[in-house]
Chains A and B, each alone.
Chain A
Amino acid sequence: MIVVTAVDIELAVLVLAVAAWTIAARQAFPAVVGYVAYGLLLSLVWVRLYAVDVALTEAAIGSGVTGVVLIGAATRLRGTEAEAAAEQPRAFLRLAAAALCVGMTVALAAAVLLMPDPAPTLAPEAVAHLPSTGLGNAVTAVLLAYRVVDTMFESVVLLLALVGVWSLAPDRDWGGAPKFPRPAGQDGVLTFFAQLLPPVGIVVGIHIVWIGADEPGGKFQGGTILAAMWIIAMTAGLVDAPQISRCWLRLVLVAGTAAFLVIGVAGFAWAAGFLAYPEGYAKPLILVIEAFMTLSVAATLGMLVGGPPQQELRR
């Protein structure tokens, strides 16, 4: 047991050290690399806290996709970085920002440390009602049965994020395709990788969605893996990035939210109200929503990484 405690303490120290290093980094790119390493360490922390679902999400989205988006942003901003660094904000502003961050940290620490022991929890309730949902994973039950409206709005937030990215497109490129940076002089290395990995990745992604009903996993984690395979294929140039005005693309993007809404409104007819499931049909309906959500998450994340359209619309 003493070894495990030592490893935990080491992990905590590492997380704090990498966080401090990320803040202290003078340039954007090293800071992003630090942030990705921080996210992966945080996944390990979640695993140690027996929150495997959260760990998977953190690894896939928190450090994976977010890391790729930030690397893209850092690369695009490289030209203007020196100018931005020269414009030091005033000392007062920096002190105020630091004070606000410290205040936030203290408030969070107080909230966690001052909790009554044992902490208030709804976990027994969540597990007790599992049979009514037909699911085996309490986390999935919370996300898609007890608090399903929150998850629906999450899917809307993803869409809004993509609309925000697309709105950065210059007028002449509106409706065109995003451009994925092609590493120069790679002589087929990336092509080979992009031909070999996706068959494996697609199976793993769908598997993670499927077992999400009973084991750690689910639509966000699996959808992210599918998105990664698509991004690799587009980066290697095996498939073209779709034009954002394409009808099929937009249908796939809204499929998840649409499934939520259709099943939600039908809840008025066959059950007690919005997004209520009829007795005995909870699990099949949840799987339908998960399937459509997986497609939407994969498409949305892939397009988010692609960024705003940069090529003129080809009719």
Chain B
Amino acid sequence: MSVALNIFSIIAIAAGVFFFFAGSVGLLRFPDRLTRMHALTKADNLGLGLVVLGLLPRADSPLGALKLVAVWLLVQLAGATVTQLMARAARREESAPRSSP
């Protein structure tokens, strides 16, 4: 049983790390601000979600597991809000008339 759980943990965390990696590559390679932010949200939601999923069997108590899930939910909430605000600011900047250089 514990072997199976360990394998599950390794697979889930590795998948999470992959999403973080992909998000970082996207942040560096994508052409404009909106797509770059889009890449980052993948790391936040799926990457952290999979890492938390992999850590759940290793939590020392149900309360600890609940805290891990709460961290994931709070990061998603904060990430989504900040990304929205940044994207809106970026769009406003682009639609605003260019000031003379």
Binding site for B on A (CB under 8 A): 183-187, 189-190, 192-193, 196-197, 200
The 9 lowest CB-CB distance pairs between A and B, nearest first, are A193-B81, A189-B84, A185-B88, A185-B92, A183-B85, A186-B85, A189-B85, A189-B81, A186-B88
Bin chain B's interface residue count.
under 10
Residues of A within 8 A of B74 (CB): 197, 200
Contact of B85 with A190 in the complex, beta carbons under 8 Å: yes
Q: Are B77 and A189 in contact (CB under 8 A)?
A: no
User: A183 to chain B: which residues have CB within 8 Å?
Assistant: 85, 88-89
Residues in A whose Cβ lies below 8 Å from that of B85: 183, 186, 189-190
Chain B nearest CB from A89 CB (Å) reads: 29
Query: Could you tell me the distance between the alpha carbons of A130 and B74 in the complex, rounded to whole angstroms?
Result: 35
Q: Which residues of A contact B92 (CB under 8 A)?
A: 184-185
By the criterion CB–CB under 8 Å, are A193 and B77 in contact? yes
Q: How far is the CA of A184 from the CA of B85 in the complex (A)?
A: 9
CA distance A181 to B77 in the complex (A): 21
Interface string of B68-101 (1 = CB under 8 A from A): 0000001001100100110011001000000000
Bound complex: CA A189 to CA B77 (Å): 11
Q: Which B residues are CB-close (under 8 A) to A193?
A: 77-78, 81
B77 and A197: CB pair below 8 A? yes
Chain B contact residues, CB within 8 Å of chain A? 74, 77-78, 81, 84-85, 88-89, 92
Number of residue pairs spanning A and B whose beta carbons lie under 8 angstroms apart? 26
In the assembled complex, the Cα of A152 lies from the Cα of B13 at a distance in Å of 45
CA distance A185 to B85 in the complex (A): 9
- Please indicate the chain B residues that have their CB under 8 angstroms from the CB of A200 in the complex: 74
Query: Smallest Cβ distance from A291 to chain B, in angstroms?
Result: 24
Asked if A187 and B88 make an inter-chain contact with CB atoms under 8 angstroms apart, the answer reads: yes
Among candidates A185, A190, A196, residue contacting B77 with C-beta atoms closer than 8 Å: A196
- B44 CB to closest chain A CB (Å) equals 15
Seed contacts A183-B88, A185-B88, A197-B74; 15 additional CB < 8 Å A-B pairs: A183-B85, A184-B92, A185-B89, A185-B92, A186-B85, A189-B81, A189-B84, A189-B85, A189-B88, A190-B81, A193-B77, A193-B78, A196-B77, A197-B77, A200-B74
B84 to chain A, nearest CB (A): 5
The distance in angstroms between the C-alpha atoms of A113 and B3, with both chains bound, is 43
Contacts of A187 in B (CB 8 A): 88
C-alpha gap A197/B89 in the complex (Å): 22
**Which of chain A's residues has its CB closest to B67's CB?**
A204
Give bound CA distance, A190 to B77, whole Å: 11
Shortest Cβ gap from A69 to chain B (Å): 18
Closest beta carbon of chain B to A36's beta carbon, Å? 13
Q: How far is the CB of B81 from chain A (nearest CB, A)?
A: 4
- Interfacial chain B residues near A197, Cβ < 8 Å: 74, 77-78
Please indicate the chain A residues that have their CB under 8 angstroms from the CB of B84 in the complex: 186, 189
A190 to B83, alpha carbons, bound, how many Å? 11
Cα of A196 to Cα of B77 in the assembled complex, Å = 9
